[in-house]
């Protein structure tokens, strides 16, 4: 290491106490993280691209600084789905510092990685107070039956009102309206469950019936409409 002549001529002044970094909560313990390998945790981050036409939710499970599990969910941009496919291969096996400085193909995924990095290195992970953290594969539990992302798609206009298209329960097939034409419930099909039933041997019609349900006071509706065509 090279020093300037001014530094060389200075006398040594002893340093005071060295307490190390402030402890952060990680997987149920308070730890002092001095190096990347000291980082552990499962957490989520959300990012967006510059024109804000799409967004990404990124979930990572980090053990000893290395990404062991990655879940990439995107919304709003068709190109992002292909970017997510590539990022799913790129991220795992990298340290979080490598991942932060890696092109993850899509700006939204890059921004999500940045936000997630800040969370986890400052001890703000979802598993900060979970003893021993979460096992590899915990991200899939967020997806539920059929391993599909939870998305909400709602459309509305002043002239024609609201249309529920997709909600937590699934793909909305009918809206139930009361005598004032206000929404009081809906019928839906859980597409993830439907595909599982088909994979197990059910016919498409049987699977559709088993994966369908209603929410709210749908049975009391005086009118039922298809939210996509009516």
- Out of 140, 166, 182, a domain closes at 140
Shared domain for 64 and 105, answered yes or no, is yes
Shared domain for 40 and 122, answered yes or no, is yes
What single DSSP character describes residue 220?
G
Q: Is residue 58 part of a domain?
A: yes
Residues of the chain with pLDDT under 50: none
C-alpha separations of 94 from 97, 119, 178 in Å: 8, 17, 55
Reported as a single tens digit per residue, the pLDDT across 144-199 is 777 888 889 999 999 999 999 999 899 999 999 999 999 999 999 999 999 999 99
Shared domain for 99 and 194, answered yes or no, is no
Q: Is residue 15 part of a domain?
A: no
Q: Two tokens at 34?
A: 């001095």
Q: Is residue 17 part of a domain?
A: no
Q: Is residue 16 part of a domain?
A: no
Q: What is the pLDDT of residue 149?
A: 86
Residue 128: give its domain's CATH number: 3.90.1010.10
Q: What is the pLDDT of residue 143?
A: 80
Shared domain for 63 and 128, answered yes or no, is yes
- Out of 99, 115, 140, a domain closes at 140
Q: Is residue 60 part of a domain?
A: yes
Shared domain for 27 and 135, answered yes or no, is yes
Q: Is residue 202 part of a domain?
A: yes
Instruction: Mark out the alpha helices in 57-199 (DSSP H runs).
Output: 78-91, 96-100, 107-121, 138-141, 191-199
- Out of 93, 117, 140, a domain closes at 140
Q: What is the pLDDT of residue 71?
A: 95
Q: Two tokens at 192?
A: 């993830």
Shared domain for 30 and 105, answered yes or no, is yes
Q: How far apart are CA 205 and CA 211, in angstroms?
A: 10
HSE toward the beta carbon, residue 30, CA cutoff 13 A: 3
How many domains in the chain? 2
Q: Is residue 4 part of a domain?
A: no
Q: What is the pLDDT of residue 78?
A: 85
Shared domain for 128 and 167, answered yes or no, is no
Per the rule left: phi > 0, alpha: psi between -120 and 50, beta: everything else, 178 is: beta
Q: Count CB atoms within 10 A of the CB of residue 187.
A: 21
- The C-alpha R_g of the chain, in whole angstroms, comes to 25
Shared domain for 74 and 169, answered yes or no, is no
Nearest to 84 by CA among 51, 108, 50, 114: 108
Shared domain for 179 and 115, answered yes or no, is no
Q: Is residue 129 part of a domain?
A: yes
Host domain of residue 55: 23-140
Shared domain for 119 and 178, answered yes or no, is no
HSE toward the beta carbon, residue 3, CA cutoff 13 A: 6
Shared domain for 41 and 121, answered yes or no, is yes
Shared domain for 28 and 96, answered yes or no, is yes
């Amino acid at each position: 290491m090279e020093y300037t002549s001014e530094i060389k001529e200075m006398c040594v002044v002893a340093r005071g106490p060295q307490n190390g970094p402030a402890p952060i909560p990680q997987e149920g313990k308070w730890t002092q993280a001095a190096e990347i390998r000291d980082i552990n945790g499962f957490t989520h981050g959300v990012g967006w691209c510059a024109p804000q036409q799409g967004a990404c939710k990124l979930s990572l499970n980090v053990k000893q600084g290395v990404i062991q599990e990655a879940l990439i969910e995107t919304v709003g941009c068709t190109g992002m789905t292909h970017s997510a496919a590539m990022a799913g291969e790129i991220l795992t096996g990298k340290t979080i510092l490598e991942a932060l400085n890696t092109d993850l193909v899509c700006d939204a995924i890059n921004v999500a990685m940045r936000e997630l990095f800040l969370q986890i290195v400052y001890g703000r992970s979802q598993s900060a107070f979970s003893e021993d953290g979460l096992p590899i594969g915990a991200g899939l539990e967020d997806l539920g039956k059929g391993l599909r992302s939870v998305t909400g798609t709602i459309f509305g206009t002043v002239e024609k009102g609201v249309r529920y298209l997709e909600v937590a329960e699934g793909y909305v097939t009918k809206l139930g309206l009361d005598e004032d034409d206000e929404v009081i419930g809906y019928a839906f099909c859980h597409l993830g469950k439907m595909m599982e039933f088909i994979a197990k041997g059910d016919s498409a019609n049987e699977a559709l019936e088993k994966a369908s349900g209603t929410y709210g006071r749908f049975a009391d509706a005086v009118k039922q409409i298809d939210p996509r065509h009516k």
